[in-house]
Every structure is written in structure tokens, then in C-alpha cells.
Amino acid sequence: MESNAGATETRSNVTVSDGGEVAAFESLQFTDEIHRLISAPATDNASSFTALLELPATQVVELLHSPESVKLIVASAPNVEDFKGSFHFPSNTGLIKKDARFSVFSGEGNNKNDKSNSPEMTSKNSSANLEKAVKSEPAETASSLPLVSDPTVENRNIKRKDREKKVKGSTKKSKPATNESLEDAEKLPYVHVRARRGQATDSHSLAERARREKINARMKLLQELVPGCNKISGTALVLDEIINHVQSLQRQVEFLSMSLAAVNPRIDFNLDSSFTSESGSTMDGGNFPSLVTPLMWPDVQVNGYRQQFQHQWHFDTLKQPIWGREEVCNNYVTPENSLLSYDSSANSATLHANQLKMEL
């Protein structure tokens, strides 16, 4: 046991890049404490380490001794890179120093470089929770945002407990960061929950707490979206605001469609060629057709209306003095050609097209 602990220590010593020796040294303490916890009789109380893990003690020890990372499940292809990162968390060390806390590592990786192998966002979620915990280390939190999970962490309920006081005050700090990582974490099949000091630790309330945290995170996002919601405190009022905002938006859509219906009759909307070209192209009106026609016509809804476009070109230009009379003769050709002629002939038309294009 001791030799293995020593092995992990050397490994973490070697691989620590930031955080320095302190992190490595404290990670050594961590493994020692884990061993101590494991060797203690597992039947003491329901919330002991091994009972929490729902694993027999021997298996836990074996898992701990898997050199690559602290995993809860027998891993298939442990990734050394990710394990290197897992001990970079000074958060863990801070947590270890707390008394009578049972911490569970789920092999969070602090790998800044490679993001490819993270289909399981489980440890992303737990790292997100760790994120919330450790605002006292701003450097670490900033770097640990692009977390890559250990590719072999699997679906188990992992619970983490730590002291609340230090944690809570700092959760406010990097809200967008946590929200970002939490958003990714929302896709997880299971939940990482942190139980705070003095709170119940049975699975129901933990799951409940996780759920509440998720909901609060989303409420914060919504508060940012809805203007004027930031100052309001209290979920009910914020929800009222959100409901009002959605209703007002829907009513605005109705109102605008009504005004479009009233205004529309004379306007010809084949300017959508210029609208599609607004995506990225900075060309002037003369160059529109060449760029635009391949963009426009593949659109599924537009394609079906090709015939109608042709007719409408003809029909509308007869009625609309805006586009000029010279366009009438151009409308007996195919739509692509009509766009070409449209752009080249009527200057006022291109002017309007440009105008609307720029506005949109």
C-alpha cells in the first residue's frame, strides 16, 4: 500500500506543471487519507467512504492503486495524460485538509490541450462542481475550464462533500464559467452533487440538491437573456418577468405580421438573394448574382417556388414603378438570369437591395 502511494506520489510529483510542489505534496496526503479511510472499518456509518462508493473496500483500494487515475470503475484504457491533470487541483488539497470529509475523486482531468476524448462529460460535471468549490484559486479555475474527462469514467452516482462556508461565497465569482461548463454537464446521464456542511446526505436530498442547482443555473442564464431581470431577486419574480417577456415577444410577432400584411401588397421580396449573400460576402451589388444564386436556390422552400418567382417577377414589375420598366423584358428568362439582369439594370433596385441587406 505504501509503495503504491509512493508511486503515485512520484508520478504526481513528476507531472505537476503548475501548482508546484505544494500540490504534489498535498496530493500525497490525499492518497494517504484515502487509504486511511479505506482501512477504517467500513461499517461505521452509512456515509463512510466505501459505502458511498458502493463498492467493496478491496475493489476501491485496487482502483485507487491503478496508477493512472483515481477511478471508481475498473477502467479499460486509462489515460495517463488525464491523470496528470487530476492532481493539479489545489481544490482537492484544500478539501483534504478539512476534517471528517469524505471526498471522492472521479478522475477529473485538467487536460488543457486535448479536448477530443470527452464523450463522457461526467467528470466535466464534477469538475464543474469543483469549479464552483474552488474560487480561491483563480488561476486554476481559469485553466480548468476546458476540462476533459477521463474517458473511462462511467455512470455512477458520485457524491462529494465539502465545507460550505468557503465554497458558497466563491461560487458567485465565475458564474459564466460555471454556466458554460454546467451547460455541457447537463447532458450527463448522472449527477455530481456536493453536499454542504450540516445538510442531509441521503441520496434523495442530494439528487434534489443537484436538481435545484441545475435549475438555478438555468435561471441565471434566463436572467441574462431577459433584459431587466438581473436586478430582481427571487425565482418567482424572475419567472414572472420571463413569462412577460415571452408573451410580449409573441405579441410583437403578431403585431409585426399584421403590419406586414397591411403594408406588403406592393413590395416584391425577391431581394432574398441579397439577404443570403449578406452572410459573409462584402461584395457590392454588381457581384451579387454570381455569389448568390448557388446559395439561394438550394434552399428547399425556395426551390419549390421557382415557377412562382418567375411569374411574380413578371407580374410585380408591371405594377411597381420602383424597379423600373426596363425589367419587364428581363423576366421571361430563367430565374438565375433574371437575377443577373435585375442587378445590372435597375440601379434603384440594387440600392434598395443593398439597403435592406445592410439593415439585416
Residues 317-356 contacting another protein, CB under 8 A:
319, 322, 352, 355-356
Q: Does residue number 305 form part of the binding site for another protein (CB under 8 A)?
A: yes
Other Cβ atoms closer than 10 A to 172: 10
Q: Does residue number 219 form part of the binding site for another protein (CB under 8 A)?
A: yes
Q: Largest Cα–Cα distance of the chain, in whole Å?
A: 94
Q: Which DSSP string do the residues of 200-219 spell out, in sequence order?
A: --SHHHHHHHHHHHHHHHHH
| Residue 64 or 210 having the CB closest to another protein | 210
CA 329 to chain centroid: 54
| Residue 235 or 287 having the CB closest to another protein | 235
Best CA proximity match to 351, nearest among 271, 267, 231: 271
The size of the interface with another protein (CB under 8 A), counted in residues, is 71
Sign of CA dihedral 293, 295, 301, 304: positive
Q: Does residue number 360 form part of the binding site for another protein (CB under 8 A)?
A: yes
Q: Does residue number 41 form part of the binding site for another protein (CB under 8 A)?
A: no
Bridge partners for 195 per DSSP: 161
| Residue 22 or 215 having the CB closest to another protein | 215
Which of 146-154, 165-173, 220-228, 337-345 is the region at the interface with another protein (rule: CB under 8 A)?
Answer: 220-228
| Residue 7 or 243 having the CB closest to another protein | 243
Could you tell me the smallest distance in angstroms from the CB atom of residue 282 to another protein?
Answer: 11
Q: Which DSSP string do the residues of 23-50 spell out, in sequence order?
A: HHHHHHHHHHHHHHHHHS-TTS-TT-HH
Q: Which residue, chain included where needed, has cell 425577391?
A: 270
Q: Does residue number 225 form part of the binding site for another protein (CB under 8 A)?
A: yes
Binding mask 256-295 for another protein (x = CB under 8 A): xxxxxxxxxxxxxxxxx--xx-xxx-------------xx
